[in-house]
Amino acid sequence: MARTKKEFEGKRDALLLSIWDIFVRNGYENTTLSLIISELSISKGVFYHYFHSKEECADAAIKMFIDRCIERIQAEALPGLTPDQKLTRMILSGVDFFHSDRQQAIGIDAPSNAVFHEKLMIAAVKRLAPVFARMIEQGVAEQVFSTEHPLESAEMILTLSNFYLDDVLFQWKPETIPDKIRAVADSAERILGAKKGTFRFLCFLAEGRSAP
C-alpha cells in the first residue's frame, strides 16, 4: 500500500514537472486538456487517474513549484547566522528562484498566462509568508526587528519583491529599476523596524554589484 502511494505520487510529480512547462510555454488560456494529454503522451484514462481538471493541474503544478522554493529558502537559514542574515539569504534565494530563468519569467508574465500568473503570485505570498514570518519572529525575540505583525509584514515584503519588482509584467524602463529596488529595501526596513542598512544587499543588486 505504502509503495503504491509512493509510486502514485512519484508519477504525479513527474507529470506536474511537464505540466508546469506546458502552462509556461503555451499560456493558461491556450492550454486545453487535449493539449496537456497530447504533450504528456498519455491517454485520457491515465490523465484522469491523476487529475480531474485543467485548473487542478495548474494549482498542483504551482504548489509543486512553491514547495521547491520553500525547500530552497529554508536551506539558507544556516545555524550560526543572525535572524537578519538568515532573512537576507532567504530573500535572495527566493528572488533567484523566481527570476533567474528569464524565458520562464517571460512566459509566466505573458497576457495569455494572466490567470496562471495570478494564481502563482497568490500562492507565493500565502505559502512563503509563514516561512518568512517565523524568521521575523526570531528577529523580534532577539531585538533585531521590531514589529507586532510578523506574518503581515512578511506578506507585504513578498508582495513588493515578487510583484512590484517584476519588470517583465510592469515593463519598467531599465533605468528606473535601481531606484525601485532601493525603495523596496527602505520599505522592508521600515516594515520590520530594522536598523538602516539591514537590507543594503538589495541596493548592491540595484547597482549591479555583489553584496559584501
Question: What does the pLDDT read at residue 68?
Answer: 95
Give pLDDT, residue 204. 63
The pLDDT value recorded for residue 208 is 55
Q: Does residue 29 contact residue 67 with C-beta atoms inside 8 Å?
A: no
What is the pLDDT, as a whole number, of residue 170? 82
Q: Where are the domains of the chain?
A: 2-206
- Is the backbone of residue 77 left (phi > 0), alpha (psi -120 to 50) or beta? beta
Q: What is the pLDDT of residues 170-196, one digit of tens each?
A: 888 888 888 888 888 899 999 999 999
pLDDT band at 206 (very low <50, low <70, confident <90, very high): low
Q: Which grid cell is 96?
A: 533567484
Bigger pLDDT: 187 vs 95: 187
Say if CB 145 and CB 135 are below 8 A apart: no
Residue 123 in contact with residue 62, Cβ under 8 Å?
A: yes
Residue 209 scores a pLDDT above 70: no
Q: List the helix and strand counts (H, then E) for the chain.
A: 11, 0
- Residue whose C-alpha is closest to residue 124's, from 99, 88, 149, 150: 99
Q: Of 34, 37, 46, which is closest to residue 18 (Cα–Cα)?
A: 37
CATH placement of domain 2-206: 1.10.357.10
Rounded Cα–Cα distance for residues 24 and 46 (Å)? 22
Instruction: Please give the model's pTM, rounded to 2 decimal places.
Output: 0.85
